[in-house]
Amino acid sequence: MKSLREVRSAAVVINAASRRGAAVSDQAINTLKGAGVPVAAVHLLRSGADLAPALGGVMAEGHDLVVVGGGDGTVSHAAGILAGTDIVLGVLPLGTANDLARTLEIPDDLAAACAVVASGKVVDIDLGRANCQPFLNVASAGLSVGVTQALSHRLKRYIGPLAYGVATVKAYARHRPFAARLEFPDGDLETREFDDLIQIAAGNGRHYGGGNTVSPTAGIDDHTLDIYAISKAPLPELVKIARLLKDGSFVKHDRVFHCETRRVRLVTDQPQPVNLDGEIATESPTEFVVERNAVHVVVPQGSTSAAFDGMRGS
């Protein structure tokens, strides 16, 4: 599907457990209908665990458009289920960080996001997978996992994106560096060994962690993964790196390894949990791959984040 004018039937799936999901669900549905979206089915989920069964039913019903409301983890999981189909994904950013929406230039304001679903354009975006599990923004091991573990629903609900800073301080106090190896099965790069990593990540999108940037050139439509590894350093150096996270220029720091590839395997000295868009979903050893143009998604007419070319494949 190349145009929203071709949409015959839409389903709305909202995760009520997301930061704003329960509070704005009725408003979202009414606004979408008022904007002319042909809403034929509505699913209000009690938790992310209900997402897969709901989407299975939605896909069986034959809807052209599925509008998913929730945080980045919810939308990424939905994208993984819809990947490779002709169903278009609409995004209502109702979580805490909403980094995918930031990457795709979808406004955080609910009414404006609904307007995008009604009158935006359809593009193709890449999908990352870590041990076959989907992610749209970033998959990572190390400090980010501690941050995720320190992020309580209550903290995110009450202070929003500021919760990431609070959680990072807590996680850093407990974090221990680890050894790892990056292997490149396609032979495009040489194997790299690291003795004392703070964090290692594979970025598919452009933004993550409440507005940080993967790298200055990262994009969700460039068909590559941006890989970065941050080595242990004195605290003043880590603070310098942290200050460069917003624009992605931290990848140029001498304590940071950065490369681009389509497939990489992470092997660690001890199994490390792996965080996928805010959800701890797998562990090392981990194979990261990118599936190019895997998901059709609605973005604003003026968005330059991605294009529609319909070429799919890993």
What are 222-255's pLDDT values in tens digits?
999 999 999 988 888 888 988 899 999 999 999 9
CB 186 within 8 A of CB 288: no
Sign of CA dihedral 67, 99, 52, 139: positive
**Beta strands 273-276; 133-135: pairing state:** unpaired
CATH class for the domain made up of 4-126+294-299: alpha beta
CATH class for the domain made up of 133-291: mainly beta
Domain map (residue ranges) of the chain: 4-126+294-299, 133-291
* Cα gap 230→232, rounded to integer Å: 7
What are the helix (H) ranges across the chain?
21-34, 51-61, 72-82, 99-104, 110-119, 143-150, 153-159, 162-174, 235-243
Give the pair of three-digit tokens for residue 245: 């996270």
Identify the pLDDT of residue 253.
95
CB 259 within 8 A of CB 111: no
pTM here? Answer: 0.89
The pLDDT tens digits of the residues spanning 80-118 come to: 999 999 999 999 999 888 999 999 999 999 999 999 999
Q: Which residue has the tokens 């169903």?
A: 87
The CA–CA distances, whole Å, from 68 to 42, 64, 73 equal 10, 13, 11
- Give me the residues of the chain with pLDDT under 70, please: 1-2, 21, 147-175, 310-314
Give the pair of three-digit tokens for residue 206: 């452009």
Instruction: State the amino acid at position 54 in one-letter form.
Output: A
Q: What Rg do the C-alpha atoms of the chain give, in angstroms?
A: 19
Identify the pLDDT of residue 312.
64
